[in-house]
Amino acid sequence: MKDRISYERRPTFNQDFICSGQGIVKIGKNCSFGYKLGGFHKRGGIELQARYENSFISIGDNVATNNNVFLLSANYIEIGDNSLIGQNVTIMDHEAHNIDPFKRREIGEKGKIIVGKNVWIGNNVVILKNTEIGENTIVGTGAVVSGKFPSNVIIGGVPAKIIRNI
């Protein structure tokens, strides 16, 4: 995987970090993964998995995560510059298993995820395929996010919806 991961300036790793898969992971400058004072610092890790050969994960400049973050790409995930990602966040751009009962062990539908610049993703959030989150948006704790959301809003809930404008 070492030839499939690139970064402009070596990121800071404050928790166990795994980068796996056959795809490409690109990390911008001044990124930080994990937080020593965050919960579960010693009992978890950060995993970026670009699972297949054509899978791509792009993390912008100045992105910081808390602990126990999992990004799993079968296609395309993009995290914009200056974004913050809370603890226990899962971001997946595909259905892990096919919904057809006779193809259940095959991968399901693939999509894309685009998180804009300066987005704050709270703790325990799940972001699903075909999601776009606009710049400066806040994603509330525990949200399950699917769909397109504009810039400068607060979203939250299950399923996530716009709570108010910023």
Enzyme catalytic residues: 97
User: Strands 153-156, 161-165: parallel, antiparallel or unpaired by DSSP?
Assistant: antiparallel
Distance CA 32, CA 140 (A): 21
Distance CA 49, CA 46 (A): 10
In what side-by-side order are the strands of the sheet with 126-127? Answer: 17-20, 46-50, 70-73, 90-92, 126-127, 144-145
Q: 2 φ, ψ to 5°?
A: -60, -30
Torsion 56-16-141-108 (CA) sign:
positive
Side-chain-side CA neighbours of 68 within 13 Å: the count stands at 16
